[in-house]
Amino acid sequence: MGADTLISRRGFLKTGATAGAGLAIAFYLPSRVFQRLGQDAGAALEPNAWLHIGSDGVVTMMVDKSEMGQGVYTSLPMILAEELEVDWKSVRVEAPTNPAGWQRRMGTGGSSSIRGSYEMLRQTGAAARAMLVQAAALEWNVDASTCRAEHGMVVHVPTGRKLPYGKLADRAGTLPVPADPPLKDPKDFRLLGTRVARIDTPSKVNGSARFGIDVRVPGMLYASIERSPVIGGRVKRVDDARARSMPGVKRIVQLPGSPEEQQMARTASGVAVVADSYWHAYSARRALAIAWDEGENATLDSARISARLAELAAKPGVEARKEGRGSAALAGAARTIEATYEVPFLAHATMEPMNCTAHVRADGCDVWAPTQGQSGAQQVAMAITGLPPEKVRVHTTYLGGGFGRRSETDFVAEAVRLSKEVGAPVQVIWTREDDVRHDFYRPTTYNKFAAALDANGNPIAWTHRIVGPSISVSKGRPPRDGIDGSLVEGAANVPYEIPNILVEQTIADIPVPLGYWRSVGSSHNAVVTEAFFDEVARAAGKDPYELRRALLANHPRHLLVLDLAAEKAGWKTPLPTGRYRGIAVAEAFGSYVAEVAEISLADDGTPRVHRVVCAVDCGPVVNPDTIEAQMEGGIVYGLAAALTGEITLEHGRVQQGNFDAYPVLRMREMPAIEVYIVPSTEKQGGIGEPGVPPIAPAVCNAIFAATGKPVRSLPIIRNGKSRIAMG
Amino acid sequence: MSAITLTVNGKRHTVDVSPDTPLLWVLRDTLNMTGTKFGCGAALCGACTVHLGGRPIRSCITPVAAAANAPVTTIEALAEQDVGRRLQEAWIAEEVPQCGYCQSGQLMSAAALLARTPHPSDADIESAMQGNICRCGTYQRIRRAIHRASGSEVSHGS
């Protein structure tokens, strides 16, 4: 989810076709991208083409983003097809297989797929359209301005003559590419902004969609890996006599294969059983007797981590934002409010457990992976095999959920290493317990807040000290200026107009592997920020919605979604007895989302979320159904975490393993969700993640409204018992 | 290892596997029918749901030997049932799937529900679908799609 996945700078268009090969158009990105990839900007034109139109009329689009449920195999072709004037269903989608030869780093994250591709795909489609029109004009010996492109054909308007793109593609491929092709006026859009049916849906209702775990390669073996139960522990001794004698077992291999791959891919140390079926591999794995060197993390536990964070919070941190006098403005205020908030580690728990298939040969390597990070996957495979990039192919399958987990490369490294060791294609499949216990977790944080009110109850100071481990440090890339942007996002950009603001950050050295979790820093910062805001509003004697409005006067996009959500939720109309509302708003990944949650509380304090009203402004809309689906998905993901999500450690071991100990939302807990999209021509934002941040604070604020006691620690329900104090 | 004869989607297969092998892995690895998914291995998520003698079961904890005495139906043959076809059409109309990984199991649970309760209430749906997890959050659309497939008024919330 780094900035390198988001490229909005304009590049240039180039044709890569030779006569007779149809029309291929590549959109070349600025040279800095190529420099980073160590490539020549002009090299290897054709394989880089975003778009190819064959003389058979087949339109092929290379989609370099992973389809993990967010609809990108539909939305990106829609953008291209809009400008190209083709039936979008005729666009065939392919994924590039050599990330190093592709035009930008291949990875899907940061809610950046559409906003990072919109402009270049429109330009690519528009350039191809202009060239096809020009080719037809030459064919008919008429002026191009008398021709028009529609439905995959060029029409000569005065005579009604028509030629399909397939018949024009060869000639178009010989023409110069227009540098600045005219784009369609958005009022003429036929596709963009409409509810186009997703291309992947039919295959996802009949079992034919191919996920990573469904890859089948002739001669393929399966692997199951027992990894160190203690974070960072190592294999000391293995007794594999029993496992070795079990049916179907081919090889038993100790991992990692090298310290370099362990460092690069952050793999766990363990022992793999490779067998002729998954069940044989898994059964024999359970028969392994392994003695572990537990290492220095054997004493790591959640209570100590929490105490360490609280201790660090007593001292000032690094300033991430300062307005006015910062914390000095607290002194002498008419009233001050203080609180501490804690959020736990979280696992991703994608429905499809981690898996990868690799086939390493002397002359090349194929990797089939449900991955959000093809470039990283290729680099890891290159490092393990010693093969050059053009010999290492990464085949992207459908992803059974991603949420950030699949941007990691540990599961890829394991498959590549094992295939190399056994000399056959190997599919590594993780169990659910492997997946939950060997995740890269959303960081836990401890937050110390103070705010001040003037004599009229207006907030005049806001201070927030965030203490937590850093994803950047965990990835081996400590932040240069001491600020990990992902640890403070959603907090340092608190939008409220308060004259004195201080947001500080302290990075805690905690050796738990961390990674990006849907909405990253905003997933923990929005809940603590927006929940503490309601404490401030209550102290000021103000309605939390009205106080937000008052402090967002200069933030029109926040205000618009806040007002829309409040209006649709009926904020000003009373609720039936026993029902309560909470509201929250957040900007994340360039989009603005407000949510209102309506709840009731059972006698034992268990909350029930009945209804969630969501308003979103993400700028120009590609597919409204996808936006609604992503808001629904983000709300469910965030709600599950707020209600029951918690990873804890004891003796260096993650305590949760399966969906019994790490419960997620089920059908019965599902609220009715309404999504309202603000018509907007503002800057485009992302959609995969921004639905997550406001839900936890909206629910916490509703509970606060119900009980008068703020929810300062998540999850709300622990071990099946509500932590909400009633009465 | 022993020879076990199974009827899957109307076709008889003799497989040579250990009798305690879960049906899930026989379907996926031995018969190469990958539409049925592995999610938890402990009957906690429902991704592996198939029908055994028309009843929904979790194939990840069902030993293959226990599946030899009744016909097995998987997602690959769902369209051969009238209820199954209507559900698939409703799933498409309501644009249910996101990542799609859990949807084979969701559809098999929904088909078993409609087979015994042609016009389920929201409560019937909740109870029949409670064992099927979806991390993408498609529950609301699943509910609508089941109502649509049953020919009932589509309910838009609780």
Q: Would you call A142 exposed, middle or buried from its count of C-beta atoms within 10 A (0-12, 13-18, 19+)?
A: middle
- Please list the alpha-helical segments (H only) found in chain B: 23-25, 82-93, 103-116, 122-129, 139-149
Residue pLDDT, tens place only, A42-54: 332 334 578 889 8
pLDDT of residue A143: 98
Tokens representing A81 are 């097809």
Given a contact cutoff of 8 angstroms between Cβ atoms, the answer to whether A157 and A147 are in contact is yes
**Is 70 exceeded by the pLDDT of residue A33?**
no
For A721, the 3-state DSSP assignment is: strand
**Is 60 exceeded by the pLDDT of residue A601?**
yes
Q: What is the DSSP string of A296-327?
A: GGTT--HHHHHHHHHHHTTS--EEEEEETTGG
State how far the Cα of A67 lies from the Cα of A406, in Å rounded to an integer.
Answer: 12
Phi and psi of A711, rounded to 5°?
-95, 105
Confidence of residue B2 (pLDDT cuts 50, 70, 90): confident
Given a contact cutoff of 8 angstroms between Cβ atoms, the answer to whether A698 and A631 are in contact is no
Phi and psi of A339, rounded to 5°?
-160, 155
pLDDT of residue A36: 31
Closest-CA residue in chain B for A207?
B35
Q: Using an 8 Å CB-CB cutoff, list chain A residues near B88.
A: 205-206
Residue pLDDT, tens place only, A665-721: 999 999 999 999 999 999 999 999 999 999 999 999 999 999 999 999 999 999 999
Residue pLDDT, tens place only, A648-677: 999 999 999 999 999 999 999 999 999 999
- Stretch B111-131: mean pLDDT, rounded? 97
- This model of the complex carries an ipTM of 0.97
pLDDT of residue A469: 98
Q: Using an 8 Å CB-CB cutoff, list chain A residues near B21.
A: 279
Residue pLDDT, tens place only, A422-442: 999 999 999 999 999 999 999
Residue pLDDT, tens place only, A339-396: 999 999 999 999 999 999 999 999 999 999 999 999 999 999 999 999 999 999 999 9
Instruction: Give the residue carrying structure tokens 């294609």.
Output: A425
Question: Chain-wide mean pLDDT for chain A?
Answer: 93
**Is 70 exceeded by the pLDDT of residue A21?**
no
- Stretch A5-20: mean pLDDT, rounded? 46
Whether residues B140 and A664 touch (CB distance < 8 A) is answered with no
**Is 90 exceeded by the pLDDT of residue A179?**
no
State how far the Cα of A59 lies from the Cα of B135, in Å rounded to an integer.
Answer: 34
Omega before A247 within 30 of 0, i.e. cis: no
Residue pLDDT, tens place only, A524-538: 999 999 999 999 999
- Stretch B78-98: mean pLDDT, rounded? 98
pLDDT of residue A39: 36
**Is 60 exceeded by the pLDDT of residue A30?**
no
Does B154 reach chain A within 8 Å, measured CB to CB?
Answer: no
Of B29, B40, B136, the CB nearest to A659: B40
Of A214, A350, A429, the CB nearest to B135: A350
- Stretch A123-142: mean pLDDT, rounded? 94
Confidence of residue A176 (pLDDT cuts 50, 70, 90): confident
Q: Using an 8 Å CB-CB cutoff, list chain A residues near B78.
A: 206-207
Residue pLDDT, tens place only, A86-126: 988 788 999 999 999 888 899 999 999 999 999 989 998 99
Q: What is the DSSP string of A238-274?
A: EE-HHHHTSTTEEEEEEE-S-HHHHHHH-PPPEEEEE
- Stretch A210-216: mean pLDDT, rounded? 98
Distance from CA of A143 to the nearest CA of B (A): 44
Helix (H) or strand (E) holding A342: strand A335-343
Nearest to A72 by CA among A20, A138, A118, A26: A118
Q: Using an 8 Å CB-CB cutoff, list chain A residues near B22.
A: 279
Nearest-5° Cα angle at A146, A141 to A152: 90
pLDDT of residue A16: 54
